[in-house]
């Protein structure tokens, strides 16, 4: 069985300071891992994904995440927050093999960026 | 580039009415997923189709049904609507068989409001 735990339901940072959104996963086999961002009343946009290539994954808008198998973590980071980063962030896991790639989601982390 | 198209974007229905949501996947994508996201909630997997056959079933109520057509578009039919069905319904598409590094692309969602 697969599951995702986002350790913080809400994170607040000041503009220009680093962002860390934490995600731990549980999977009985090597998974694919994803971070999605959702702005208010908008759809889900893929930030980045890990699918067994480089463990440090770079995504859009300056975000990156590092896959750490020993810690079963896939934390999302950004060196310097921007006001436009304020949104809901979802970590998700999916099986890497097979025809069914349904995503199992974390509960989301709401990121607030203060001026 | 073509994206996943969902229609309608917004829908208001009364209790006990029916609703049909449509999803047009990215061209050549053979897999469609439906998710339901309640207010302030993470997306919940409802059902998926691969090559026009149901491939997985999640927390889809018996009042809902879905299918994938020969052109790979999918429709989610919802009957006897309840207030609790008010949510954002996402469709996602991906390439299925044997493609281990695939990802799901999401539509903008259909916001269903039941009054």
**Does residue A4 have a pLDDT over 50?**
yes
User: Tens digits of per-residue pLDDT, A51-87?
Assistant: 777 889 999 999 999 999 899 999 999 999 999 999 9
Most confident by average pLDDT, A90-99, A100-109, B86-95: B86-95
- Residues in A closer than 8 angstroms to B97, CB to CB, are 99
Of A36, A100, A106, the CB nearest to B56: A100
User: What is the distance between the alpha carbons of residues A12 and A23, in angstroms, rounded to a whole number?
Assistant: 16
Q: What pLDDT is stored for residue A83 in this prediction?
A: 95
Q: Is B105 on the interface with A (CB under 8 A)?
A: yes
User: Tens digits of per-residue pLDDT, A9-31?
Assistant: 999 999 999 999 999 998 877 78
Of A96, A102, A108, the CB nearest to B42: A108
Torsion from C-alpha of A15, B105, B23, B33, nearest 10 degrees: -110
pLDDT interval class at A43 (50, 70, 90): confident
Q: What pLDDT is stored for residue A101 in this prediction?
A: 65
**Cα distance from A97 to chain B (closest Cα, Å)?**
5
Inter-chain touch A101–B42, beta carbons under 8 Å: no
**Does residue B98 have a pLDDT over 80?**
no
Q: What is the DSSP string of A77-115?
A: EESS--GGG-EEEEEEEEESSSS--PPEE---EEEEEE-
In A, minimum Cα distance to B46 occurs at A102
User: Tens digits of per-residue pLDDT, B25-78?
Assistant: 999 888 899 999 988 888 898 999 988 999 888 889 999 999 999 999 999 999
Average pLDDT over residues A91-115: 82
User: What is the distance between the alpha carbons of residues A107 and A101, in angstroms, rounded to a whole number?
Assistant: 19
pLDDT interval class at A97 (50, 70, 90): low
Q: What pLDDT is stored for residue B109 in this prediction?
A: 92
Instruction: Compare A5 and A31 and report the one with higher pLDDT.
Output: A5
Inter-chain touch A90–B43, beta carbons under 8 Å: yes
Instruction: Compare B1 and A46 and report the one with higher pLDDT.
Output: A46
- Residues in A closer than 8 angstroms to B92, CB to CB, are 103
What 3-state class would DSSP assign to A74? strand
Average pLDDT over residues A31-53: 85
Of A94, A99, A104, the CB nearest to B96: A99
Q: What pLDDT is stored for residue B97 in this prediction?
A: 45
In B, minimum Cα distance to A45 occurs at B106
User: Given the DSSP bridges, would you call strands B10-13 and B110-114 parallel, antiparallel or unpaired?
Assistant: parallel
Where in B8-82 does DSSP place strands (E)?
A: 10-13, 19-24, 31-37, 44-50, 53-57, 64-68, 74-78
């Amino acid at each position: 069985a697969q599951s995702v735990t986002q350790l913080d339901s809400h994170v607040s940072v000041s503009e220009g300071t680093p962002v860390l959104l934490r995600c731990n996963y549980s999977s009985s086999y090597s998974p694919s891992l994803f971070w999605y961002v959702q702005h208010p009343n908008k759809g889900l946009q893929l930030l980045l994904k890990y699918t067994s290539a480089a463990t440090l994954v770079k995504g859009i808008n300056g975000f990156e995440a590092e896959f750490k198998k020993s810690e079963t973590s896939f934390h999302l980071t950004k060196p310097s927050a921007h006001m436009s980063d304020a949104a809901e962030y979802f970590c998700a896991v999916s099986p890497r093999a097979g025809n069914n790639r349904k995503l199992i989601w974390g509960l989301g982390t709401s990121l607030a960026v203060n001026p | 580039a073509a994206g996943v198209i969902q229609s309608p974007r917004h829908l208001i229905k009364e209790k006990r009415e029916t609703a049909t949501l449509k999803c047009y996947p990215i061209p050549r994508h053979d897999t469609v997923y439906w998710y339901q996201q309640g207010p302030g909630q993470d997306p919940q997997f409802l059902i998926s189709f691969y090559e026009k056959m149901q491939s997985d079933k999640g927390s889809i109520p018996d009042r809902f049904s879905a299918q994938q057509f020969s052109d790979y578009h999918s429709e989610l039919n919802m009957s006897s609507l309840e207030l609790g069905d008010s949510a954002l319904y996402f469709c996602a598409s991906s390439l299925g068989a044997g493609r281990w590094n695939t990802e799901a692309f999401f539509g903008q969602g259909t916001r269903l409001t039941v009054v």
